[in-house]
């Protein structure tokens, strides 16, 4: 009876061992035929994205890796520009009249250029001066005449605007300090006398581009020069004073590029 019990126990153990072996063999074979699952992404800082590098780049004083560039539709670099313009006095107390001028520009780049300019002013008495003359006198003043000079062009602004939601107009604005020679006439009872003086200029110019070859130009020109003002009346008490004159000109014209 005891021997039968031992035989039965040994048989049960053998059967269990065979079952476990077959199951392990089947799992091993299945693992060889099926692809291994992709590893789970590593968690960073509690499954949150690390944006430290982006924050450093955002708060940096200057980003040297990226630059925003806008291509210019109308370029001036390495081009000549001829301008013809026409305008008038601004803020002159004793005179009025038209000014016609021409200038030649060369642009080294879109930002910098040089300019040679000439203008001629037809100065006449305004209404206040005419009234004083009708009374037999005249104010002590000079009248501006010809000017020629050179200037440096700095173009800090280039932009475009919508015109009535129908078209886009491109424009730039330049600031041009310069120097030249200004001629003027001393107004005297016995006849006018022509003089010249060194003049310093500061012009603000706006170009509105129509095509690659042409633009409308609007100028506000400032000129400063020391002038000798002589008393109009020819008598023993005639005097001469030195005066720093500042004259403004508002001019409109057209610029041609090539």
pLDDT at 160: 87
Q: Is 115 within the bounds of a domain?
A: yes
What distance lies between CA 175 and its chain's CA centroid?
A: 10
Domain range enclosing 183: 79-257
Q: Is 173 within the bounds of a domain?
A: yes
Q: Is 240 within the bounds of a domain?
A: yes
Higher local confidence (pLDDT), 83 or 50: 83
Q: Is 122 within the bounds of a domain?
A: yes
pLDDT at 35: 57
Q: What CATH number has the domain bearing residue 133?
A: 2.40.160.20
Q: Is 151 within the bounds of a domain?
A: yes
Q: Is 181 within the bounds of a domain?
A: yes
Query: How many domains, in total, are found in the chain?
Result: 1
For the cut 80, the answer to whether the pLDDT of residue 141 exceeds it is yes
Task: Flag whether the pTM goes above 0.75.
Answer: no
Question: By CB neighbour count within 10 A (0-12 exposed, 13-18 middle, 19+ buried), where does 126 fall?
Answer: middle
User: Which range (27-36, 84-93, 182-191) has the least confidence?
Assistant: 27-36
Q: Is 47 within the bounds of a domain?
A: no
Tell me how long the chain is.
258
pLDDT at 2: 45
Per-residue pLDDT reduced to its tens digit, 194-220: 999 999 999 999 999 999 999 999 999
């Amino acid at each position: 009876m005891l021997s039968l019990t031992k035989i039965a126990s040994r048989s049960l153990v053998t059967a269990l061992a065979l079952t476990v072996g077959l199951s392990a063999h089947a799992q091993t074979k299945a693992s060889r035929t099926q692809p291994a699952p992709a590893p789970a992404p590593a968690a960073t800082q509690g499954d949150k994205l690390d944006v430290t590098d982006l924050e450093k780049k955002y708060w940096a004083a200057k980003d040297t890796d990226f630059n925003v560039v806008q291509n210019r539709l109308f370029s001036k670099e390495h081009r000549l520009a001829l301008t013809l313009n026409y305008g008038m006095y601004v803020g002159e107390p004793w005179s009025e009249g038209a000014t016609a001028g021409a200038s030649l520009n060369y642009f080294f780049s879109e930002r910098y250029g040089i300019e040679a300019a000439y203008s001629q002013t037809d100065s006449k008495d305004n209404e206040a001066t005419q009234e004083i003359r009708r009374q037999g006198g005249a104010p002590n003043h000079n009248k501006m005449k010809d000017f020629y000079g050179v200037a440096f062009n700095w173009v800090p602004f280039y932009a475009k605007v919508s015109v009535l939601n129908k078209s886009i107009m491109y424009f730039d604005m330049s600031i041009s300090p310069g120097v030249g020679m200004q001629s003027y006439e001393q107004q005297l009872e016995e006849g006018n006398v022509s003089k010249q003086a060194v003049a310093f200029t500061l012009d603000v110019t706006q170009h509105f581009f129509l095509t690659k070859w042409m633009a409308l130009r609007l100028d506000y020109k400032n000129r400063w020069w020391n002038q000798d003002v002589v008393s109009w009346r020819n008598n023993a008490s005639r005097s001469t004073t030195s005066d720093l004159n500042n004259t403004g000109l508002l001019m409109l014209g057209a610029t041609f590029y090539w």
